[in-house]
């Protein structure tokens, strides 16, 4: 069974004061902590062996999740004594995935329902690749204005999806050999990924927002909008 690592060691400074006494993954969205949404998503993808990479207010995460049994999964923890960054945190947890063919890594501040199977399949299809990254379409943070050739405003579109632009979704499938490319301290996005990309060893899987839900919880505005979106999705599902 595949292992999933949840990066949960950050400070969540932009969500203060909510994160003054808890790590960002315990901030509630639509009445549930982010990490609870993530565990349900991983379970739906057949992944029940979860490793939480904890740091800031680690005791709060351990208190909430415990062994994971109440959420139907097995949870273990790798604790960093000082901030290591995303790359350092994954390296610090290398014993948890060293025996795996491939494993999942997810940022601790996203809520999504993307299917991770294509990430595994894409990585398995290329023996030289070290990791596969989920990409989602960029959604404009602002409404846009359409103008015709004579300078007249034709229409307003509220925060459209910019279909030709793709962003890192914070969901990855990696081979254990990724450890050879990880810094002891530092973020994987600034160190490992650019180097692997330059070598042609980082693959992409695209997920369109008409088929999948994805949201990063970085600000209070994200928190409010995601809560409304998830409540609306729950009504549709019901």
CA 172 from chain centre, in angstroms, equals 8
φ and ψ at 96, to 5 degrees? -80, -20
DSSP letter string, 7-65: EE----GGGTTTTSSS-GGGSEETTEEHHHHHHHHHHHTT--EEEEEE-TTHHHHHHHH
Contact 169, 110 (CB under 8 A): yes
Instruction: Establish whether 58 is a catalytic residue.
Output: no
Question: Among residues 70, 157, 159, 221, which one is catalytic?
Answer: 159
Catalytic residue numbers, as ranges: 159
């Amino acid at each position: 069974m595949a292992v999933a690592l949840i990066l949960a060691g950050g400070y969540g400074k932009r969500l203060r004061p909510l994160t003054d006494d808890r790590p960002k993954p315990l901030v509630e969205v639509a009445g549930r902590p982010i990490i609870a949404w993530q565990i349900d998503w991983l379970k739906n993808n057949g992944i029940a062996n979860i490793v939480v990479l904890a740091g800031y207010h680690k005791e709060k995460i351990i208190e909430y999740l415990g062994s994971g049994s109440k959420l139907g999964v097995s949870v273990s923890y790798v604790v960093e004594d000082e901030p290591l960054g995303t790359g350092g945190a994954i390296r610090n947890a290398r014993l948890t995935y060293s025996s795996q063919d491939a494993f999942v890594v997810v940022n601790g501040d996203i809520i999504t329902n993307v299917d991770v199977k294509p990430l595994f399949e894409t990585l398995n299809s290329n023996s030289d690749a070290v990791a596969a990254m989920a990409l989602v379409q960029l959604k404009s943070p602002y409404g846009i204005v359409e103008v015709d050739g004579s300078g007249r405003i034709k229409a307003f579109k509220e925060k459209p999806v910019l279909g030709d632009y793709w962003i890192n979704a914070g969901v990855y499938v990696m081979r254990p050999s990724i450890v050879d490319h990880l810094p002891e301290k530092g973020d994987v996005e600034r160190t490992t990924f650019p180097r692997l990309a330059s070598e042609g060893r980082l693959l992409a899987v695209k997920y369109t927002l008409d088929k999948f839900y994805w949201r990063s919880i970085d600000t209070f505005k994200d928190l409010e909008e995601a809560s409304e979106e998830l409540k609306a999705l729950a009504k549709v599902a019901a």
